[in-house]
Every structure is written in structure tokens, then in C-alpha cells.
Amino acid sequence: MSAYDVAISVRNALAIPDVAKWASTWSYAYADQSGAQHLINNHNRILPQGPNQYVGATGFKTGFTRLAGNTLSATATRNGRTMIVIVMDTADTYGWTAQYLDE
């Protein structure tokens, strides 16, 4: 997939409220059928609770492949406008993401 393809996928996923909700969730605790407790953390550091939090960040997805390197599909809303940024294969994923969202 190209960055453009990923952006289109994110745009379509944002139209599904349950998907958008989970993509913006920082952590989720649950008990499995045996009663064991589990905690799942989102790896997207630009979310409000993250160490690289970005004002207005609303989600979306981190990833890694050998060809694309570290990747981040990020969404943020400011002044009623939602933006989507796709960053691939950079040493400063969150810095570039913030810069693109600011632009």
C-alpha cells in the first residue's frame, strides 16, 4: 500500500464510529474468560495521554514493515477540520507527524 492508500483507508475507517473510538483509545483493560486481567496500550504516542501528545490528536494506527520502516497514520482535529497524516520510514516519526499536522 502507498501512503495515499493508507490515508484513504484511514478516512474510510473514521466514518465508522466504533473504529474511530478504538483508534483513539489510549489503553483498554479487560478480564478474559478465566478472569485474568489484561491491559492493552495504544502505541500511538501523539494521543493526549502519550509522551509525544499533539493538541487535537484523535488517533489512528502505528505500524512497521521491512520496506516501510516505522509508520504512523495519525489524525487530528482543529477548528472543526480533521487532518490525516501518513509518515513512513523516518528517524523522527512523531516530529514529522506534528510538523505535517501543523502545516
pTM of the full predicted structure? 0.82
pLDDT tier at 1 (50, 70, 90 boundaries)?
A: confident
Contact (CB, 8 A) for 73 and 61: yes
Cβ within 8 Å of residue 55, ≥6 positions away: 76, 78
Q: CA 94 to CA 31: how far, in whole Å?
A: 32
Quick: pLDDT tens for 21-57. 999 998 999 999 999 999 999 889 999 888 999 999 9
Cβ within 8 Å of residue 66, ≥6 positions away: none
In this structure, how many other beta carbons lie within 10 angstroms of the beta carbon of residue 3? 14
pLDDT at 98: 95
